[in-house]
Each structure stands twice: as C-alpha cells, then as structure tokens.
Amino acid sequence: MYLKQNLFMNTKLNLFFSLLFLVINSYSNAQPITCGAPDFTTTCDAACVMCGDIDGTMLTTLENMGGSLPQGFCTAFSHTSSWIGFIAGSTDLVIRVTVGACTGVATEMGIYEGCNCSDYQLVSNCNTMMNAGALYDFTASGLDIGKYYWFVFDGNGESACDVTFNVMSGSTGASGPPQVGPMMGERLVCLDDLEDYSIPEVSAACGYTWDLEGGGTIVSPTNSNMISIQWTTPGVWELCVEPEVICATATQECILIEVEDELQPTELEDEY
C-alpha cells in the first residue's frame, strides 16, 4: 500500500514539474510588448519595443533598481540596468546618444540583438563612460530590417541620466508587413510519408508558428522556417505558417495537402 501511494505521489510531482517547465518555457519565448508611452525597464522580459522612428526620443535611465544585463556586457560591474527596444529600418545604423543631466557619475550603453530575450549578441560598439553633457555615436551593422533590437544601459555608480536618441545614418521604425512565402513541400503524399515543408526565411522574424489542421504529426521543432510532418491519416489537410514579428502584422501562408491511402492493386481482366 505504501509503495502504491509513493508511486502516485511521484507521478503527481512529475506531472506538476512538467507543466511548470512548459509554462516557464512558454513565457521565456514570448514576444515583447510594444511601447505605449516609451520608458525603460530593468529587465528584458518586461521591456517594450518602440515601433516608430526613434529620432529625437528623450528618456531617463533608471536609478538604484538593480535588474539584469546580457552576459559579457560592456562593463565588469553591474549597477542599475535600463532596457528598451527599437525596430531596425536599415541594415546599418549610426545612432547618436546625447547624455543630459545625471544624478551620479555617468552611464554606459550598448546595442544588442536578443530575440525573445535570449541569445544576446552585441551589434554595436560599447561605451562604459558616457558623461553628462556629451554626445556619443553608436554604429551597428548587419541588422535585419524589421527586427527589434535593444538599447541596454547600466548606470555608472547607480546614476540615472537623461538621454536623447538621434538617428544620424540609416533609419528606424517598422515599414509594413513582411513578405511571406511561398511554402515549399509535397502537396500530394502517401500514407506514412515523412515530408519537409518550409518557407523562405523572414528577416524580421524571431520565430515561426505552424498550424496543421490534422492528418499527421509535426515531428520536428516548430519555431523555425522548416518542419517535418509524418502523414498518418488520409484526406485533405491544411497547413499554415505565420512568422513571429512585432510592430507589423505578418500574413499566414497556407497550402492544402492531400494524403492518399495505400494504393490498392488493380484487377486486370482476362484477354481472349
């Protein structure tokens, strides 16, 4: 009896932790929100993305609030982080940051790529001593048009600073829905076939959402521009994909796939 109760409790615990993992994983892969009134936050998960042209935007970095920074951030010491996102309108950018009044010594900044607040990559120069009353240029290259990037600040000595962004070269802001499709893959398949389906990569996308009406099972990761399907049920089934973009509405690309049952042998009539 004790063994059965223990097994039951272990099963319940395993189910609980499995569900907890799924919830945490879903949250960590969530798209960021768009900004209403732009403002900094101390973490990427809570940060918003400015959809329009950021030229002339004035904000104040945060003070004495801790937070988090990308691994390997410009400085060796973390004080108070400030995050906000923007949309790249060109592959190359020069953004000038004017530092106004500061409550402390100075501030520090770099521009980062980080889809869904993970896998951060520094895409600009970094400055670890941006003093009040001075101008600083940040050059970023190799950007994906329509994708969001992060301004990440750290208050030097926990100071808050007024900062103004000016676009000196290139452009920022969403320019409309991205081009999606066409979808590639077999549209007439046999039962038990394993087939690949894909669309061309969308540069602005941080992932993809695939939706299969039925008839088979997606047997590969579903967050890329390519999936594999094991077809299990005869019929005509719809397969759709939508790129995960922000500050624009991406259209779904859909196709119909016919799954044929196993071919039946044909009886031949005797010839006389």
pTM, to two decimals: 0.82
CA neighbor of 146 nearest in space, from 113, 110, 177, 111: 177
Helix (H/G/I), strand (E/B), else coil: 53: coil
Cross-strand pairs, 209? 242
Q: Measured in Å, how far apart are the chain's first and last C-alpha atoms?
A: 77
The C-alpha atoms of residue 33 and residue 175 are separated, in whole angstroms, by: 18
Using an 8 Å Cβ cutoff, are 201 and 181 in contact?
A: no
pLDDT in tens, the chain (272 residues): 433 344 334 434 333 333 333 333 333 357 899 999 999 999 999 999 999 999 999 999 998 777 899 988 987 778 889 999 999 999 999 999 999 999 988 999 999 999 999 999 999 999 999 999 999 999 999 999 999 999 999 998 778 999 999 999 999 999 888 889 899 999 999 999 999 999 999 999 999 999 999 999 999 988 899 999 999 999 999 999 999 999 998 899 999 999 998 755 555 555 54
Vertex 228: Cα angle to 244 and 121 (nearest 5): 40
Phi, psi angles (nearest 5°) of residue 11: -65, -45
151/208 Cα distance (integer angstroms) = 25
Q: What whole-number distance in Å separates Cα of residue 66 and Cα of residue 109? A: 16
Closest among 151, 243, 174 to 202, alpha carbons compared: 243
